[in-house]
Copies of this chain bind each other. A is one copy, B any other.
Amino acid sequence: MLTRQAILAEAVNLSSSEGLEALSIAQIAKAVEMSKSGVVGHFGTKQSLQLAVVNRAVTVFQHEVIAPAATVPPGLGRLRALTANWVSYLDREVFPGGCFFTRAAGELDDKEGPVRAAVVTANRAWKATLRRQIMIGVAEGDLRPDTDPHQLVFELVGVMLSLNQSIQLDRDPDAVHRARRALATLLPTQPTRH
């Protein structure tokens, strides 16, 4: 089990910077100083390994972005915590090469199969988390009553995708600042309660 974790950690890093498709059992084996068949033994096929990698990335994301926001009361406050953690997660490059899911999404667009499905599920769950906090924020009067939760999620995700690209492609030192400004426009800064 310990080696399995070591293999997975290496596989997540490799697939985050080289891509989920380019993930190579041989490369992982070399990185963890093991034979190729030793690696295969833990996962069976490359596809199972890819699925395990996606699940591991989900765990990391939950730990880095979602869990720390759980201490903040639901609604606009938690929504702001979630987006702030999200910016920080991209800024700190928790995954080498930027957001693991953005990268995986781009790669798996066209390829049907369980790996794509796993990424879609993770993405959907994350959007649902955001939407839930938006709905609570609306119900509590901290967000405008005519707020369309799906629409706001769409726009929040846009800010994060733009941030990810600005960091990774443009290497723009102002990227984080821009993202925070955009978020401030989308979300009221001070949760003014009742």
Residues of A at under 8 Å CB distance from B? Answer: 17-19, 21-22, 96-98, 102-103, 105-110, 119-120, 123-124, 150-151, 154-155, 157-163, 165-166, 168-170, 174-175, 178-179, 181-182, 185
Contact = CB atoms under 8 A, between A and B. Distances in A.
Contact of A178 (B18, B103, B119, B154): B154
A169 B97 contact: no
Nearest to A109: B168
17 contacts: A19-B19, A19-B107, A96-B110, A97-B110, A102-B106, A105-B169, A106-B106, A106-B107, A107-B107, A108-B169, A109-B168, A119-B169, A151-B178, A154-B182, A155-B159, A158-B163, A161-B161
Count identical subunits in the complex: 2
A96 B111 CA distance: 12
